[in-house]
Amino acid sequence: MLKLGFIRSSACRFSPSIVNLSPYPSFPPKQAISFAVRSQMGSFTTLSQSSSRLLFRQLFEKESSTYTYLLADSSHPDKPALLIDPVDRTVDRDLSLVRELGLKLIYAINTHVHADHITGTGLIKGKVPGLKSVISKASGSQADVFVEPGDKISFGDLFLEVRATPGHTVGCVTYVTGDGPDQPQPRMAFTGDTLLIRGCGRTDFQGGSSEQLYKSVHSQIFTLPKETLLYPAHDYKGFTVTTVGEEMVYNPRLTKDEDTFRSIMQNLNLPYPKMIDVAVPANLVCGLQDSKTN
C-alpha cells in the first residue's frame, strides 16, 4: 500500500502532501457501481461504492465545450482538492463550488497547453493563496510545479499518477487515479485531448504527431483495466464519460491499424483553430499571469 505521496518538482522547492495523515481506514475492495447524478449546479458527480472518499465533479464550459474536473479527498480533515483543466470564463463558478463544499484547493492542473480556450489557472492563483499550478515539463509552459511521467500528485490520501501521452501536443499528459485498495475503483483517467469519447484530439499543431498519439493511447491508456473510466477535456456531442473497454471497441479512429489512423488524421481538413493565436501564448505562462489574460 502506498503511504508516501511523492511529486517531483524541478520548478520550485514545494513538495506538497508528502505524508498521508488520514485517520480513516482504507476501504475494502467492493464491486464498484458507478452512476452519474446531475446536481442542481449543472455539474456531474460519479459515485462509486469503493470510492466514497473521493469527491468528484465534472464541470462544463459551454463556449469551448471544455470539461473541468474537481477532485477532493473528502475523508481527509482538510478536504484537499484539485482542479483539472479549469477555464478562465468559469473560474468564479468553480471557486464558489469549492467554497460551498468546504474544500481546500491546493492545485490547478492542466493536461496540456490548450489552443481553444485560456486556462483558468492564472485567475485561480490570484484568488486562492498558496495554490500551485501544475503542468508537464514537456509542455514548455511555465508553472509552479512541473510533472514528469511516473510522478504522483497527492491530495490527502488520494493521488493521481502522471502518464506521458504526447501526440495532440508534445507535452500532453494523462492523469490517472491511483492503483490500490484505498484509491477510487474503478480507476479514472483524465485524458485531456489525447483521447476523446469516440475520437481524439487533432495532431496538426503544437508539435502534434499522429504516430505519437496512436502509440500514446495504445501504450498508456488502452493498457489500463477495461473498466477504467475515461474523462476527456472536451465533448461536442453531450457525452460525459467512457471506458477503456468501450473505446477499444468503438473508437472509430483508434481501433484502426496505425497506417489507417495516420491517414485519417492527415485528411481531417479541419479549419485553423480560431483561438490558437490568443490561447497558446497565454497558456504558455500557465498560472503565472498577474491578472486576467483576455
Contact footprint for Fe ion (CB under 5 A): 114, 193
> 70 or 280: whose CB is closer to Fe ion?
280
In the complex, the smallest distance separating the C-beta of residue 174 from Fe ion, rounded to whole angstroms, is 13
Furthest CA-CA distance within the chain: 55
Among residues 51 and 210, whose Cβ is nearest to Fe ion? Answer: 210
CB of 115 to Fe ion, least distance (A): 5
User: Which of 265, 174, 263, 189 has the alpha carbon at shortest distance from 226?
Assistant: 189
DSSP, collapsed to helix, strand or coil, labels residue 116 as coil
Place of cell 506521458: 164
d(CA 67, CA 108): 14
State which residue, 98 or 217, has the beta carbon closest to Fe ion: 217
Give the C-alpha separation, 116 to 109, whole Å.
17
Paired sense of beta strands 54-61 and 152-155, if any: unpaired
Q: Is 83 helix (H, G, I), strand (E, B) or coil?
A: strand
CB 201 → Fe ion: shortest distance, Å? 5
Give the nearer residue to Fe ion in terms of CB position, either 50 or 216: 216
Q: How far is the CB of 132 from Fe ion (least distance, A)?
A: 22
Q: Is 193 or 247 the residue whose CB approaches Fe ion more closely?
A: 193
The CB-of-87 to Fe ion minimum distance in angstroms stands at: 12
By beta-carbon distance, which residue lies closest to Fe ion?
193
